[in-house]
Amino acid sequence: MARTMRLKPQLVCWFRPGRQDSCWLVVLIEVMASKSNDSSQVKACLCPDEEPENVKPRNDGASRAEVEPVKTEDSGCGHSCSSTCGASCTAAVRRRRVEGRERPREEAGACCPLQDLKRLPQCRPPLGELRFGRAHTVLVDVRLVPQRFVAQDGRDVWSSNVVKMPCSPSSSMVKSGWTGSGPVERWKVISKHLGALSSRSEADVADVQKAIMKYNPKYEKQWLFDSLASFVKVIPKEDNYLPSLFPKMAALALKLPEHVKKAIPLLSAGRTAAVTLSQVQISCLLANAFFCTFPHRNACGAHTEYWGLPSINFTSLFGKTSQRKRQKLRAIMQYFKEVTDSPPRGLVTFERRCLSNAELPDWTSSKKKLLQLHVTSQGSIEDDGVGMLQVDFAASLVGGGVLNSGLLQEEILFLIHPELIVSRLFTERLGDNECLIITGCQKFSIYSGFGDRFEWVGPCVDSVGRDEWFRLQRQIVAMDALHFKHPSEQYDVRKVQRELNKAYCGFKKVGAGEPDVATGKWGCGAFNGEPQLKALIQLMAAAEAGRGLAFFTFRDEKTKRDVEQMYKLLVREDVTVGQLYALIQDYCRLRTHGGSGVDLLQFITLRSSRSQL
């Protein structure tokens, strides 16, 4: 039974006896005062038996840890303790030195330079021979790669576990007219109207709309093309390449039976599997998505056939106009311009990874130590993390709102690397123990801004090299964080464990020589995650997976300082992943019982001052 101890009018503490020293703090420090809380009072509550700072503990032998004061401003990361801690907390921070494991003070806990982290191609994971198997579908003839990228022969399959293709004879529609009505092959109707469009030297939005509605007649009064029309209007006449591009795109879409001959399996929930396509195949599939040819992918809802997959046809992007959609279309149309002018020559692999419970770590008993960390408020994951495993802050339906109005980190990644959009064609909703890893996608655009300030800047010449499978050496992992309606929900230990397992699934190595991770405020912002907690979760998962971490805060200086300070304290104390997990559990209990006055950095700092990490 917890007992209450009232120290000051501002502070109420609950203690639970019987753990470690005399009375061990477990659950609550509620700071009732204003923002100018006396941090020394908080420390007094957390550390009632703290010795005076000028008293050095007696060393009773080599097995005992020696505790002595440390100056936090000489940290190796260039920042002092966060101002939320207060001067007295900063002065109280101590570190242990165990004989035989001492490091120079200026190096202890220091974050590393970005160049110290591993990247491709300097580290080269062994690939082996490119081949198809039960869990790996390759849509090109592997015998001809890289000299030629020819479609692998196959047969049409019309079933619920593969992509139902527009060119399948099983795809039909009811066509009515003066000659009578009845089912006809939908591809014949598509071929007729896109063929007419492709034969023209120029076409406008009205021509595109007319063709699309011919094989989607049931949506004639529902679908709008306002955004596409307004986009074309705002482009200066001298820069407007769209009239000549629309016919080229129609011709590309009609090559689908030639470019994709083998059934594309769905990357279904609960199963690890991969699909490798050529970049030309991807461009052809995306051209069909633009012209809204994919059958059974327009209806949405819990009882529709493809409710567990994202949308793929571009109808929602063409609808109600907005500045966001116009900028999105600039990026997407730049992609189509480049692939129709000069078809890319390479492969891209999409791998759904699903971990069983037996493959997930036991976080409570992990002995792994924290690995290298670089924290910066400058730069970006996609630019400064080239060659590293880049984290896509994904939605469970990959791509999020890329084909609608969304413009967060994931949508921007999909816009500057449009080949990612094809993953929406075959990737089911991600589960708690799953992620999607994409290797080989090309960057086609440069951008600036975020959200409403997002702006397409211009084309990008991608200079990244290729691996033995002729994939660009760019690896992106889509992993979805939990969306908390209220921030307090994230302090449920079960949800912390879910996020740890999700991050570990994304970071897990499959062999030696894999790169380190480039990430940032995953699950924060619109998802209401707390940056300090999310940083530690990713740091723990990376340590368990054997990878270093580059953490980009996107101009958030406070988060940069906080993460640096937490890392320094934890490394100085030689904390294991298991010990850090126990510490986070304690903090979650504190927050669950209303202790909102102490943030995670402050909690770790005060625990460090008693060597309780």
**Mean pLDDT computed over every residue of the chain:** 85
Catalytic residue among 410, 434, 530, 562: 410
Going through 409-494 in order, the beta strands assigned E by DSSP cover: 434-439, 445-448, 455-459, 475-480
Pick the range with the lowest mean pLDDT from 71-85, 133-147, 574-588: 71-85
Is residue 410 part of the annotated active site? The answer reads yes
At CA 445, angle to CA 444 and CA 449, rounded to 5? 155
Q: What's the pLDDT tens digit per position in 429-438?
A: 999 999 999 9
Closest by CA position to 445, among listed 342, 338, 334: 334
Q: What's the pLDDT tens digit per position in 492-507?
A: 999 999 999 999 999 9
Residue 25 pLDDT > 50: no
Dihedral Cα 126, 128, 134, 135, nearest 10 deg: 20
Pick the range with the lowest mean pLDDT from 23-27, 288-292, 586-590: 23-27
Closest by CA position to 216, among listed 191, 186, 246: 186
Closest by CA position to 348, among listed 286, 418, 260, 278: 278
Q: Determine the Cα–Cα distance for residues 125 and 586; give it in Å rounded to an integer.
A: 39
Output the pTM of the full model: 0.83
Closest by CA position to 577, among listed 359, 365, 355: 365
Q: What's the pLDDT tens digit per position in 350-379?
A: 999 999 999 999 999 999 999 999 999 999
Q: What's the pLDDT tens digit per position in 290-341?
A: 999 999 999 877 778 888 999 999 999 999 999 999 999 999 999 999 999 9
Q: Determine the Cα–Cα distance for residues 216 and 222; give it in Å rounded to an integer.
A: 11
Q: Enter the tokens of residue 421.
A: 């959009």
State the pLDDT at residue 65. Answer: 35
State the pLDDT at residue 349. Answer: 99
Q: Determine the Cα–Cα distance for residues 195 and 192; give it in Å rounded to an integer.
A: 5
Closest by CA position to 85, among listed 498, 611, 612, 565: 565
What average pLDDT does the segment 419-437 reach? 99
Helix or strand or coil: residue 576? strand
| Structure letter (DSSP) for residue 320 | S
Residue 241 pLDDT > 70: yes
Q: How confident is the model at residue 512 (pLDDT cuts 50, 70, 90)?
A: confident
Domain boundaries of the chain, sorted by first residue: 1-110+578-613, 136-349+368-488
Task: Give the pairing of strands 373-376 and 23-31.
Answer: unpaired
Q: Enter the tokens of residue 408.
A: 């967060």
Residue 516 pLDDT > 70: yes
Is residue 411 part of the annotated active site? The answer reads yes
Q: What is the CA radius of gyration of the chain?
A: 28
State the pLDDT at residue 342. Answer: 97
Burial of 243 (0-12, 13-18, 19+ CB in 10 A): middle
Pick the range with the lowest mean pLDDT from 103-112, 204-213, 451-460, 499-508: 103-112
Residue 93 pLDDT > 60: no
Closest by CA position to 517, among listed 407, 384, 351, 357: 384
Is the C-alpha dihedral spanning 454, 460, 464, 470 positive or negative?
positive
Give percent of the chain above pLDDT 70: 81
Strand order in the sheet with 3-8: 3-8, 11-17, 23-31
Beta bridge partners of 175: 182
State the pLDDT at residue 361. Answer: 98
Residues 363 and 500: beta-carbon distance below 8 Å: yes
Is the C-alpha dihedral spanning 219, 168, 340, 415 positive or negative?
positive
| Structure letter (DSSP) for residue 133 | B
Catalytic residue among 351, 382, 411, 419: 411
Q: Determine the Cα–Cα distance for residues 390 and 410; give it in Å rounded to an integer.
A: 11
Q: Determine the Cα–Cα distance for residues 470 and 314; give it in Å rounded to an integer.
A: 29
State the pLDDT at residue 13. Answer: 39
What average pLDDT does the segment 153-158 reach? 96
State the pLDDT at residue 124. Answer: 81
Pick the range with the lowest mean pLDDT from 78-82, 110-114, 448-452, 568-572: 78-82
Residues 552 and 379: beta-carbon distance below 8 Å: yes
What average pLDDT does the segment 450-473 reach? 96
Is residue 382 part of the annotated active site? The answer reads no
Catalytic residue among 207, 338, 382, 392: 392
Q: Which long-range contacts (CB under 8 A, 24 or more apart) does 450-456 make?
A: 450/407, 450/408, 450/409, 450/412, 450/554, 451/407, 451/408, 452/323, 452/324, 452/407, 454/324, 454/327, 454/407, 454/412, 455/327, 456/327, 456/330, 456/331, 456/334, 456/415
Q: Determine the Cα–Cα distance for residues 486 and 467; give it in Å rounded to an integer.
A: 44
Residue 518 pLDDT > 60: yes
Going through 186-256 in order, the beta strands assigned E by DSSP cover: none
Beta bridge partners of 68: 95
Q: What's the pLDDT tens digit per position in 551-568?
A: 999 999 999 999 999 999
Q: Determine the Cα–Cα distance for residues 257 and 235; give it in Å rounded to an integer.
A: 34
State the pLDDT at residue 125. Answer: 75
Q: Determine the Cα–Cα distance for residues 354 and 283; give it in Å rounded to an integer.
A: 27
More confident residue, 138 or 1: 138
What average pLDDT does the segment 387-391 reach? 98
Is the C-alpha dihedral spanning 459, 465, 467, 468 positive or negative?
positive
Q: Which of 12-26, 61-75, 309-323 has the highest mean pLDDT?
A: 309-323
Q: Determine the Cα–Cα distance for residues 241 and 338; give it in Å rounded to an integer.
A: 12
Beta bridge partners of 426: none
- Cβ partners under 8 Å of residue 20, min gap 6: 612
Q: Enter the tokens of residue 282.
A: 């991807």
Residues 155 and 244: beta-carbon distance below 8 Å: no
Q: Annotate 430-446 with DSSP letters as a single string.
A: P-TTEEEEEESPPP-EE
Closest by CA position to 531, among listed 502, 501, 559, 499: 559
Q: How confident is the model at residue 30 (pLDDT cuts 50, 70, 90)?
A: very low
Q: How confident is the model at residue 107 (pLDDT cuts 50, 70, 90)?
A: low
Helical axes 242-253 vs 279-290, angle rounded to 10°: 110
